[in-house]
Amino acid sequence: MSLRDWVGNTTTRVREDGLSGVAESGRRLYTGFWRVAGSRLPLGTNIYDREWDVLVLLDGCRVDLLSEVASGYPYLLPIDSIRSVGSSSREWLAKTFVAAHADKVGRTVYVTANPYSEEILSPGGAENNRSPFNPENWSSLNAAEFARVEEVWQDGWDDSLGTVPPRRMTDRAITVARNESPERLIVHYMQPHQPFIEMVSDDQPDWIRGNCWSAMQRGDVSRNTVWAAYRQNLRLAMEEVSLLRRSIDAARLVVSSDHGNAFGEWGIYGHPNGSLHPAVKRVPWAVTNAADTDEYDPDVERESSEASVEERLEGLGYL
């Protein structure tokens, strides 16, 4: 959005919404500034600057959210934190898998439920954003420079849920770990990110599979309601992480996230690109291990889906 567009939109908002329109335009100007600056500044800790064999990413998981459920998963304790390199999945992908860490990336198998891998990790994907006239200024490696990229969202997507169920991620990750023994393995679950799986139904409110952040900002749903759904989605993912720990071997397994989410703090909702909001940038870093008991046999279920990448991202509330 250009400055001229912002001024025009501001005029319209003020005319239609008065002072609330002024506040909304101020918020967009603020987030827009940090979207530009944040993509150009070396902010955050790259995962390759830390030690791990297996990295489990819980998409959009806040530190305090993981702390709330940690009593049920004592292997998480104590939960440390780091500042993420990104405030969105797109930004995290583009700023994590970079030339400075090409050697380590080349020894990494990335198993992911997040459809943004297609845009950012395709040849020239992040490069397409490198322009002085574009907010993002990113340059990342592409999928061919990994040991392998397993895009579970391609053939593990559940159209009825609008996401990849966490068990499909677990089964795929176990299969990769046992069959390939990668030096480094990243398992990127889509949960606790919406949609909130246990609430999906034919008569669900729009915010369950739509943009819950906009709905909360409008007052259509309360913070407590969204937080409870968010927490339950995390519990579903953590049950899978527990199964994963019993089904693979790893001297150092880390549970973390690509970014967090703001719940209205400082007037920010969700996880806008380039944000420096601590609720968005601060992510968990919980160190544990894993030992395969050979008790579980994964069921690698591959499903075809008619949904396009854009439709899948829309179902996740991105578009």
Q: Which residue in the block uniquely carries the two structure tokens 């909702």? A: 269
**Average pLDDT along the chain:** 87
Which segment, 7-11, 136-140, 200-204, 240-244, is predicted with the most confidence on average?
240-244
CA distance 111 to 187: 5
Cis peptide leading into residue 115 (ω within 30°): no
Question: What pLDDT is attached to residue 2?
Answer: 53
Question: What pLDDT is attached to residue 203?
Answer: 81
R_g of the chain, CA atoms, integer Å: 19
pLDDT > 90 in the chain, percent? 64
Joined tokens for residue 290: 């894993």
Question: What pLDDT is attached to residue 205?
Answer: 84
pLDDT digits (tens, 9 = 90+) for 141-164: 999 999 999 999 999 999 999 999
Joined tokens for residue 75: 């292997």
pLDDT digits (tens, 9 = 90+) for 104-137: 999 999 999 999 999 999 876 655 454 444 556 6
pLDDT digits (tens, 9 = 90+) for 67-100: 999 999 999 999 999 999 999 999 999 999 999 9
Mean pLDDT of 215-222: 91
- Residues 146, 106: contact at Cβ < 8 Å? yes
Q: In terms of pLDDT, which residue wins out, 316 or 289?
A: 289
Q: What is Dmax (Cα atoms) for the chain?
A: 65
DSSP 135: S
Identify the helix (H) or strand (E) that includes residue 213.
Answer: helix 212-218
Say if residue 224's pLDDT is above 90. Answer: yes
Which CATH architecture fits 44-315?
Answer: 3-Layer(aba) Sandwich (3.40)
pLDDT > 70 in the chain, percent? 82
CA distance 244 to 78: 20
Q: Where in the chain is the domain with CATH 3.40.720?
A: 44-315
Going by C-alpha positions, the residue among 115, 94, 114 that lies closest to residue 105 is 94
Torsion angle defined by CA atoms of residues 70, 73, 76 and 82, in that order, rounded to the nearest 10 degrees = -40
Cis peptide leading into residue 166 (ω within 30°): no
pLDDT digits (tens, 9 = 90+) for 11-66: 777 677 777 767 666 666 666 666 666 666 668 999 999 999 999 999 999 999 99
Say if residue 238's pLDDT is above 80. Answer: yes
Give per-residue burial for 188-214: e unless 16+ CB within 10 Å, then b. bbbbbbbbbbebbeeeeeebbbbbbbe
CA distance 28 to 10: 10
Which segment, 3-7, 264-268, 299-303, is predicted with the most confidence on average?
264-268
Mean pLDDT of 239-247: 98
Going by C-alpha positions, the residue among 56, 66, 54 that lies closest to residue 108 is 54
Mean pLDDT of 298-307: 78
Question: What pLDDT is attached to residue 132?
Answer: 44
Strand segments (E) across the chain: 54-58, 80-83, 108-112, 148-151, 184-189, 250-256, 262-263, 269-270, 282-290
DSSP 95: H
Question: What pLDDT is attached to residue 232?
Answer: 97
Say if residue 241's pLDDT is above 70. Answer: yes
pTM, two decimal places: 0.86
